[in-house]
Structure 1
């Protein structure tokens, strides 16, 4: 029997726009190509799921309406998710889920959605739409993606961003920070989806999970020429 990795996919019904499901597919395939079995466990509102079994946690983007649907359920799972984060579990949360992994989100209509405070950040809705191709320089190397959000996310003092924007907007319409990193949790506004075009980031999440679960310290290399070409093309597109 092959060794097994469990991916917890938070709220795929409500929080999976702009191709974010492709991130789960990328994680699954790059694990399977290396001989691992993968279980993707959807976490939907009101459904009992033991998050402690998760090796990787993923949450995608969604509309404000989707955040309203999942908000109370996410808060109820907040203690479990904070414990997973503190234990070093790798997580990738995008756009709407990224906002709710912070301290909270105030919608443009004035609704207050409290977050679970895994990430030191707070988001406020605005009339400015930040949309277009994004290039970010990060500790993982260059990251390319696509943003489409009106939330302005301010990081707490001392909260590390994911990286620095060289094309596009990122967390706010006026700054240069994109996303956030805390422990092994990564928050970002990059859709695209982000992982297929950035296999080095995918492999970082995978290696972190495999190291925690099985003590793996090195990944078998994969042929990533197509992925790198896609990233190069995306990076050259107009914003």
Structure 2
């Protein structure tokens, strides 16, 4: 199933972006579906049509995709999708290595690594897009978080996870926490990056308060579609609203 979001600018569309949501039926908590909506809207403002597709368990995975987003879920959600995700792992690895941009949050961030060990000691194998390993910790890491990130500046979100993630040499962090617990509450890192893939624990949703990240993903998606990203200025109060949302989030205690 797909939904077409047509461009909102005058004249013909500058192109079409095919955006895929992974497991929206099982991995979509804390407003993560909002990330897909932000990407669609910002692409429309830039003159692009967006074809929004979704993939759930047991369906055929369309690999002719320009951008992939996936959200978080409880252990039960991860349990439901784990076998299907493993079956699609090679296709997703191939897409990532070919340059398809991806944003995966929390539960899917964990399963895009090598494995996730639950609090009960069960090991859920991941698909290895990211060089990361996660083990459930004894406490939940919860609160507003800011991350100083190379290329994106200060990234703002909300973390709520018990998984403790550590990166291997094949991944670099999204950034360093200021304040927050991040990947594991010890090494000061948050998230992981490899190729054009971003994994992170930041909910919120993430992208409404971080348009720099959204536009970076869109730029890579447009390039993946065979075109050149040439953004135009968006008029109106949007920038002020975004700045205010960021200020409020940063002012709230953890």
Q: TM-score range by the shorter chain?
A: over 0.9
How many matched pairs? 238
Q: CA deviation at 1:217?
A: 3.4
Show the 5 A alignment for 1:158-169: 158-169=170-181
Tell which deviates more after alignment, 99-108 or 228-237: 228-237
Shift >3 Å, 4+ stretches = none
Are the equivalent residues in 2 in contact too, given 1:128–1:173 (CA < 8 A)? no
Which deviations, in whole Å up to 9, do the C-alpha atoms of 1:99-158 show, x marking residues without a partner?
000001000011111000000000001111100000000011110000000000011135
Q: Secondary structure at the match of 1:207?
A: helix
Which deviations, in whole Å up to 9, do the C-alpha atoms of 1:50-94 show, x marking residues without a partner?
1x2110001100000000000011111111100110011100000
1:82 and 2:93 correspond: yes
Show the 5 A alignment for 1:158-197: 158-197=170-209
Show the 5 A alignment for 1:72-111: 72-111=83-122
1:56 and 2:71 correspond: no
- 2:55 counterpart residue number: 43
Are the equivalent residues in 2 in contact too, given 1:198–1:228 (CA < 8 A)? no
The partner residue of 1:151 within 158, 163, 176 is: 163
- 2:222 counterpart residue number: 210
Q: CA deviation at 1:178?
A: 0.1
C-alpha separation between the residues in 2 aligned to 1:6 and 1:35?
14
Q: Secondary structure at the match of 1:81?
A: helix
Q: Secondary structure at the match of 1:75?
A: helix
- 2:250 counterpart residue number: 235
The partner residue of 1:66 within 58, 77, 102 is: 77
RMSD after superposition? 1.1
Are the equivalent residues in 2 in contact too, given 1:199–1:224 (CA < 8 A)? no
TM normalised by structure 2 equals 0.91
1:129 and 2:144 correspond: no
Q: CA deviation at 1:218?
A: 2.3
Q: CA deviation at 1:228?
A: 1.9
C-alpha separation between the residues in 2 aligned to 1:213 and 1:23?
20
